[in-house]
Each structure stands twice: as C-alpha cells, then as structure tokens.
Amino acid sequence: MARVTPATTGGASVSLVTVLATGGTIATRTDERGVSTARDSGADLLSRLGPGALPEVRVRDVLRVGSYRMTLAQATEVARAVAGELADPDVDGVVVTHGTDTTEETAFLLDLFHADPRPVVLTGAQRPADAPDGDGPRNLADAVTVAAAPATRDLGVLVAFGGQLFPARGTRKSHTLAADTFAAPDAGPLGRVDGATVRVERRPVRRPPFDLAAFDPAGVRVDVVACHPDADATALHAFATAGARGLVLQATGSGNANPVICRAVAQLTAAGVVVVTSTRVAAGPVAALYGDGGGTDLLAAGALPAGLLRPSQARVLLAVLLGLHRDPDEVRAGWREAAG
C-alpha cells in the first residue's frame, strides 16, 4: 500500500485518508486506436495532485475496471475493503475512485452497509487521465478534502464531483459526457467543496445499516425490466426462468404498466419472486394512482413501490435484501423498512 505524506504539516496533527482505487475513467488512457481503458493505479492518480494542503493519504488498488463492468460481487469486494480501512482507528475517512457509469450503484451499496461516523467519499472523472482538460485531479483532491473534514462525519457515503457533494441515496448520473454529471433530482446536493473549505448545507436521513458480514452476493440475480407502450410479459418470465429472485420494473409515470404486466407480476410474486416498481421519470415518488394496469393494479398484484429510488438503486437494495434473506416474505418486510 503506497503512502503519500504532505510536503508541510506545520507541526500540527495531520488527518489520514485512505484512497481505494477501482479504475474508471479517472484511471483510463487512450491507446493508438482511440480506445480508452483503465490503466492507472491509485498511486498514479495521487501523483497528479501535486503539492497542496491535503491530508496524509495512503492508497490501495482494489480493482482496475471500467465501472460498466462492475458486478455485485466486485462492489461487495469494495465494501469489504472500505470496512477493512475503517477498522484502523487512525483513518479519518475513505475515498473510493470509481467510474461514473455505476457510481450510483456502488455508492448506494456501500451506504447500505456503512455503520461508521467517518465519511466514505466516491469520486471519479468524466475525462480520461491523459485528456488535456482532465477533471480527475480536482475531483480527487476535493474528495480527499471531504473525507478528512469534520463537517462530513455522520453523513454516510457521499459522492464528491464537480465541486458538489451528494448523498449516496438518490444521486444519479444525469449526463453522458458533461463534467458536472451527478444530480440528486429530489433533494439537490448536500453541499459544496471550495478548495480546502467544505460547506454542508443539509444532512441526509440515515437508515439503520445492514450487516455486511451476513451478506452473500453469490447466486443473487435481480433484473430490471422496462415498461413501455406495447410491452408484454416476455422479459419478466424469461428473467424468472433464468433464475431471477427479484425484478425491478422501470415503469412509466408514477409507476404504471399495463394489464398483461400486472397479471405476470401476480403470477411471479405468488411463485416467490420479489417484484419492485420504480419509474423511468427523473424525479418524484412512485405512487399508486391508476387502475387498468397502472400502479394500483401493480400494488394489488404484489409489487412493492420503490418510493424515490430509481431502478439502478432499487435493484441494489433488492439484491442486498435477497443476499441477506432467503424467505421472500422477509425480503418484502425488509424492503418496506429500508426503501422509504
């Protein structure tokens, strides 16, 4: 594990932050074909920060992948690495460098297990490491600053990106290429980072964490099924046949489908598959308002409303519950407690 010590400390005690590197665009470089792949180590990322008033940092490479390849098992490996670092009482906070494609999934999974007041901060980049206008160094410096800031204790897992600070729950990638890609449509950012100053403007509601030691991701399959005009039940039945124990509907509007989908949901929930209704709309809650295949009928068929969780994070929560409980009724009970 590499360690970087600030150039000057002024004799004062210096915070210690661990950076766990997992790859992503912040670590990518472009080859002769113009294709970018994750190559840089965590030490490489830190080497680009230059001198500055940052805490003492140690770095560990956990993975080196594009986050579009991140699996539930790999995200669990990251969660265990975070827990391992927080077992050291000298660590003031943890930073995870991660690809932006699935930051919202990994951040939320980490938050579901986070039982420590010290912050865990995910960051990354929209531009590769070898881009002349790369945004990775600033985002990483901000994340390290956030991880060491007393103001961020008891906030849970955070996303620091583009000078803004977001809670894990409810934060989503909102633009494919823009540097300021993350947004929390239902609540907005928690605060901002300006150099060495971290401003926290609101505090998220924290929920009791799950037991990471009890979680087993092996064999947990949860699929997302899009609802759209002309959608039928083919995908629902196919995923269930393939072994899905949980399904998330990416429904329309406030959480609507059609009568064919509703009948399939009733069959699947009766067979022990846990079905959750989310929505493809950016903001607002899932609400049972309509019949004739709408949200009211989905609720009657046994689907669980996702509240404000969008499909990406609803899938993570459902997978965690399925990895903790084998009884579908226990999963449903856990969902009602954790999703609100």
CATH code of the domain containing 196: 3.40.50.1170
188/221 same-domain check:
no
**Same domain, yes or no: 237 and 186:** no
Residues 186 and 288 placed together within one structural domain of the fold: no
Residue 5 has pLDDT above 70, yes or no: no
Is residue 99 located within the same domain as residue 189? yes
Q: What is the dihedral of CA 29, 33, 37, 40, to 10 degrees?
A: -30
67 has binding-site annotation: yes
| Residue range of the domain that includes 225 | 216-339
Instruction: Please check the confidence at residue 6 and state whether its pLDDT lies above 80.
Output: no
Evaluate whether residue 207 is within a structural domain: no
What is the per-residue pLDDT across 136-193, written as a single tens digit (0 to 9) for each? 999 999 999 999 999 999 999 999 999 999 999 999 999 999 999 999 999 999 999 9
Query: Can you give the pLDDT at residue 11?
Result: 43
49 and 8 in a common domain: yes
Instruction: Indicate the DSSP class of residue 33.
Output: T
DSSP states of 317-339: HHHHHHHH-SSHHHHHHHHHHH-
Mean model confidence pLDDT for the chain: 95
Final residue in a domain of this structure, among 176, 200, 224: 200
Determine if residue 30 is labeled as part of a ligand binding site: no
Q: Is there a single domain that holds both residue 329 and residue 228?
A: yes
Q: Is residue 59 part of a domain?
A: yes
Q: Is residue 208 part of a domain?
A: no
Given a cut of 50, whether residue 303 has pLDDT beyond it is yes
Residue 2: band (very low, low, confident or very high) from pLDDT cuts 50, 70, 90: low
Residues 190 and 251 in one domain: no
Domain end residue (candidates: 200, 231, 252): 200
Give the C-alpha separation, 143 to 172, whole Å. Answer: 17
Whether residue 178 sits in one domain with residue 36: yes
Residue 9 pLDDT exceeds 60? no
At 32 the pLDDT is: 87
CATH at residue 272 = 3.40.50.40
Which of 18, 25, 97, 123 is flagged as catalytic? 25
Number of structural domains found in the chain: 2
Same domain as 138, residue 163: yes
Give catalytic status of residue 102 as yes or no.
no
Together in a domain, 164 and 242: no
Which one-letter amino acid corresponds to residue 266?
A: A
- Tens-place pLDDT, residues 114-143: 999 999 999 999 999 999 999 999 999 999
* pLDDT at position 7 over 60: no
How many angstroms separate the CA atoms of 104 and 166, rounded?
10
Domain contains 211: no
Edge-to-edge strands of the sheet including 304-305? Answer: 222-226, 246-251, 274-279, 304-305
If asked whether residues 49 and 117 sit together in one domain, one would say yes
Residue 101 annotated in ligand binding: yes
The secondary structure of 95-154 as a DSSP string is: EEE--GGGHHHHHHHHHHH--SSS-EEEE--SS-TT-TT--HHHHHHHHHHHHH-GGGTT
